[in-house]
Structure 1
């Protein structure tokens, strides 16, 4: 996680940045696709044949049941989303999970995805509820003592998301007396509480609740990884 001095205001400008990255899949110039790339445009992954990892009890359990159980998020635009109508998961992290499944000898279509709240990730891994977790997850010494990490495969920094009509918050120095929302058990929440004690930190189970409260004027800012906030900003560029 980058130094909090590098926090940036994730508003329409950030939405535009993400829109440029996604322009190849846009319907109208500068507007990101509502649900990400179409299924037929997603990559396919060749399943490793004859792959075995007998030294891993996790892999052996997955082999016996015939599939991997993967923990993910369901409300992070373009990273890990679940369509409530179909139950289908999609996004960057979902594709990483499918790629890993194929490399471990399991057809990606057999993955059982489970939505895991940030505060429950270590418990879900330690109890065997999931075989591995794919998603935004800060690697730090405390967590390394509890679970094993691979990667990182993507680097992100902590940022702020505010409404487009907010003129007084330009960075963390402006948070005194303001209500800042993040997810329970997350590193961004801990950093706000530790480094900016004059801010009023509130926590929920999901970032989508934080964003809903931001749009309804119940909180003044949302803080987490910039990649997550870019997705939310792109979904509501005028808000």
Structure 2
């Protein structure tokens, strides 16, 4: 019995001795902690000469926000291009069809085009002041205006006229005109208006 007690005491002493180990020695037996995650790198600085532009034209943004395309036309435009329907009061003609085609490609409805008939002396100022988004059938005869197209060639060229500082709008309108020719929309507008009036015309692109 005495021998059993001695053995138990020896075992207890060994356990207590193990519990009293130097903490630093115990920690050395643990696997090392993983390294701290690296912080994300700063975004690269654009190289010199890199330009950043808006994704779309500011004019197109205004058109889409107001849900209306303001199209200027001269009051002396021949009726085959722009005329007022005496019965319904709406507009008809080749330029009208082109404006409505552009409106649809912008994301509006054909009826969302508002036509403004202007005297020749007010055409340029209407575009520059933003009273109209574009001018149908005009020419860019001053540096602050630019012509897009032509969208039709008859005895003369018919262009869309916009402000020269909106280069993105010029590119968008040209792509729309090219698409209208490619998918047959231009031809349908021509046959409905100029063709029916016996006026020969061809697309400019």
Query: Does TM-score exceed 0.5, indicating one fold?
Result: no
Higher Rg: 2
TM-score between both structures, scaled by the size of structure 2: 0.45
